[in-house]
Amino acid sequence: MTEQPSSAPTMRAIVATKPGPADVLQETRVPKPRPGGTEILVRVHAAAINPADWKTRAAGGWAGRPDITEQGPILGWDVSGVVEAVGRGVTLFKPGDEVFGMPLFPRFPGGYSEYVAAPSRQFVLKPADLTHVQAAALPLAALTAYQALRDFADVQPGQKVLIHAAAGGVGHLAVQIAKAFGAHVVGTASAAKHDFLRELGADEVVDYREVDFAETVTGVDVVVDAIGGDYFDRSLRTMNPGGTFVALSYDVTPAMKARAAEREVTADFMLVEPDLGGLTAIRALVTDGRLRPVVDTVLPLADAAKAHELGETNRAAGKIVLTVVED
């Protein structure tokens, strides 16, 4: 955020005071941002939690970065809210518009706060039939799934897509997006989440605790994996020649790429990016009734630490969302 005089307006925010466990997240007041050229100022109504949030909080490494407050970084890349002001040159939005987006990733836009200032083209209009809580659950996870499935893997109708951690934040959206693209979807998840995944459209579900998916799933064209470890090589065993493996949470080393190439599979790591085209497509899928975010837990902004602790259990079905303004 831009430094402002001490007399400048302030806002409520949750700051990571230092690297460490969830209790390093503390509520404080910081300068309220102002929109620069091509930027909008959004009054945040809801902000979602993602694995990137708690991993960044725990790992640190942000010292000296220009995009943090004096107290530390304000996490949160998923925001939904109302445009309060627009900067010079903005033509997409006006004050009063309801928007959602994933601004500035991987920089810190400060979603765990009352206001965010960021480029206007990193937001789109919120679908009228979604609440701010639902809309906040979409951007980072849905963009990750969309970019993996459409931009990287170019999923085609009739292809078989294997999605690991299919009931999670990215996974439950990837299931729906792959189905919207006409794919046959296989998801791995614990047995308790199988009905949930079938309701989302999964064609097959595998209980990873009881069954080795590598022994039962075959003919896969695309794998989306946010787990890593031995899931990489086990997943390769399920894949057709010409397939695509997308890693979302770990690097794919040259040695791993070589093992994939032996099976005529393309494998690489993908990091989500702010993307107006992708957000627009996601909004269209929501409007058409083919994509719906599932919210596992809603907590007030002050309970950000509790939200992180819940997220780190990896037990949520869908997303965890913080409310900043009660709608």
Instruction: List, as one string, the DSSP characters of 223-280.
Output: EEESS-TTHHHHHHTTEEEEEEEEESSS---HHHHHHHHHTT-EEEE------HHHHH
Q: What is the pLDDT of residue 3?
A: 44
Contacts with 222 (C-beta within 8 Å, 6 or more apart), sequence order: 149, 153, 155, 159, 160, 161, 162, 178, 183, 243, 244, 245, 246
Class of domain 141-269 as given by CATH? alpha beta
Which of 159, 165, 314, 130 shows the shortest CA–CA distance to 247? 165
- Calculate the average pLDDT of the chain: 95
Strand partners, 78: 48
Q: What 3-state DSSP class applies to 97?
A: coil
The arithmetic mean of pLDDT across residues 281-302, rounded, is: 97
Q: What is the pLDDT of residue 327?
A: 67
User: pLDDT category, 1, cuts 50, 70, 90?
Assistant: very low
Q: What is the pLDDT of residue 308?
A: 97
Q: What is the pLDDT of residue 64?
A: 81
The arithmetic mean of pLDDT across residues 119-140, rounded, is: 97
User: pLDDT category, 316, cuts 50, 70, 90?
Assistant: confident
DSSP for 29-74 reads EEEPP---TTEEEEEEEEEEE-HHHHHHHHH---TT-TTSBTTB--
Contacts with 157 (C-beta within 8 Å, 6 or more apart), sequence order: 181, 182, 183
Q: What is the pLDDT of residues 189-243, one digit of tens each?
A: 999 999 999 999 999 999 999 999 999 999 999 999 999 999 999 999 999 999 9
| Separation between Cα atoms, residue 54 and residue 139, nearest integer Å | 17
**Percent of the chain predicted with pLDDT > 90:** 91
Q: What 3-state DSSP class applies to 287?
A: helix
The arithmetic mean of pLDDT across residues 245-254, rounded, is: 96
Q: How far is CA 12 from CA 102, 110, 158, in A?
A: 20, 11, 49
Task: Please determine, for residue 11, whether its predicted confidence score (pLDDT) is greater than 70.
Answer: yes
Q: Is there a common fold for 10-138+293-323 and 141-269?
A: no
Task: Please determine, for residue 147, whether its predicted confidence score (pLDDT) is greater than 80.
Answer: yes
Task: Please determine, for residue 146, whether its predicted confidence score (pLDDT) is greater than 70.
Answer: yes
Q: What is the pLDDT of residue 108?
A: 93
The residue extents of the domains of the chain are: 10-138+293-323, 141-269
Fold of 10-138+293-323: Quinone Oxidoreductase; Chain A, domain 1 (3.90.180)
| Separation between Cα atoms, residue 207 and residue 50, nearest integer Å | 24
Q: What is the pLDDT of residue 7?
A: 65
Q: What 3-state DSSP class applies to 83?
A: strand
Q: What is the pLDDT of residues 38-96, one digit of tens each?
A: 999 999 999 999 999 999 999 988 888 888 888 999 999 999 999 999 999 999 999 99
